[in-house]
Amino acid sequence: MIFKGSVEDSPLFLHRGILLDTGRNFMPVETLRKIIDSMAMVKMNVLHWHITDDQSFPFVSTTYPELSDKGAYHPQICTYDEIEVTDLLEFARLRGVRIIPEFDTPAHTLSWGKAYPDLLTKCYEGSDPTGQLGPLNPANDSTFDFLKNLFTEVTSRFHDNYIHLGGNEINVACWNSNPEIVEFMQKMGFSGKTSQLVNYYTSKVVETVKSIGDPKAAITPILYQEVLDHGYQGDENTVIHVWKTSDWKGYTKKATKKKFNVIVSGDWNLNDLGDENDWMKYYRQNIIDFGGSVQDASLVIGGEATMWSTRVDETNVITLAWPRGAAVAERLWSRSPETNEKFSQRLGELRCRMLYNNIEAHPVNGPGFCPV
C-alpha cells in the first residue's frame, strides 16, 4: 500500500486520438461509449468521429432531417439523434475526451443525395447523363448555403473549436464530364484544370466554416492530405490530416513546409489486423521523424489511429482497437519508447485490466492468461 507519492508526467502531443468511422457500418452509442472509456484508460483525448460516408448518413439534423430519414440505413435504429449526441459529448467530457465531428465533402456524400440529389454532380458520358451522381456540385452557390446551415448546426451541437471537413478521394472525372461544371470552370478562368476547381471548393468551404460563430473564437478546419496534391495554400490555421500509410513522411514534410499544423495517422491503421505482435509497427512509428527541421516538427500537433469500418462493426471494433491502440497512445504520450519486451509485458497487463472492465481486448502476445 502506498501512503504518499508524487508523479511527474505530461503528454508529448496535445492531440492523441482515434478516428472512428460510423458511416460505412453503423455502431450503437453503447459501442462508442466503450471506445471512449477505453481511450481514457490509455490517456487518449480526441475521438475523431467520421460520422457519415457514401453508404449512410446517421447524424440526425434538425435543420435537414431528411438527410438521415432517407440517408441512414434505418431512420430510427441506425441514427444518432440530438439527445444521444449531447449525452455522448458529456460522457466523453467527463472522461477527458473531446469529440471532433467529421463531415467529409465534397466526395463521400452519396448518402446526402438520397434526400437532396441536386446537391450532387450529375456524371455524364459525352452529352448524356449516366444516371450516376458524383461529389457535391461546386458550381452552385446553393451548395455552400446548404453547408453553412448544416455546419452551423453541427458546430453549435458539438461545441468544439475544430471540425474535420474531409477533402479526400474526389471523383474529378465526374466534375470534368458535367457540362454545367465545365462551363463554370471556363467562366472562372480555370483553364480546364480540375485542381483549380478543387482548390476553389476547398477554400470556399473553409471560408464558409470560418464565417460561423464568433470571429474571436473562429473554428479551425481540418482537411485530409489530398488537398496538398491540388496545391492548396489556404489559411495557415487549417490543420492537415496525413491519414494514408504510404509516404506519410513526405506528406507531413510537405504540409509543415507550408506552415500548416499537422495530425499524423500514417501506419496507425487499427482496422488492418496483421500478424501476431503487429502492435510493434505502431510502437515503432515516430511521427516527428519525417525528415523535417526542428521547426517543422513543432507543427505536428499529434496523431490519430484510424478505424475505418468497411469490415468493422460493433461485433469486432473493440477487439481490433485494443490493446493494440495502446501502442499508439504511448507513442503520443511518451517521448522515449521502451524496448518491445518491456512494453509487451505492460500491454498484456493492460489487456487484463481491460477485460476486468468489460472491454473485450484481444490477446496480442500469443498464449497466456489473465489471472482472476
Nearest of 295, 289, 287 to residue 333 by alpha carbon: 287
Nearest of 111, 74, 18 to residue 317 by alpha carbon: 18
Contacts of 87 (CB under 8 A, 6+ apart): 29
Q: Rounded to whole angstroms, how far apart are CA atoms 253 and 250? A: 5
Q: Rounded to whole angstroms, how far apart are CA atoms 153 and 212? A: 10
Question: Are 51 and 23 a contacting pair, CB within 8 Å?
Answer: yes
CB atoms within 10 A of CB 158: 18
Q: Read off the C-alpha cell for 151.
A: 455546419
Q: Rounded to whole angstroms, how far apart are CA atoms 336 and 274? A: 25
Instruction: Let me know how many helices (H) and strands (E) the chain has, helices first.
Output: 14, 10
**What stretches of 97-192 adopt beta strand conformation (E)?**
98-105, 120-125, 128-136, 162-166
Question: Are 167 and 231 a contacting pair, CB within 8 Å?
Answer: no
Q: Does residue 179 have a cis peptide bond before it, meaning omega lies within 30 degrees of 0?
A: no
Choice among 169, 183, 338, 349 that is catalytic = 169
Q: How many CA atoms lie within 13 A of 240 on its CB side?
A: 31
169 counts as catalytic: yes
The enclosing H or E element of 301 equals strand 300-307
Backbone angles phi, psi at 207, to 5 degrees: -60, -40
**Catalytic annotation, residues:** 169
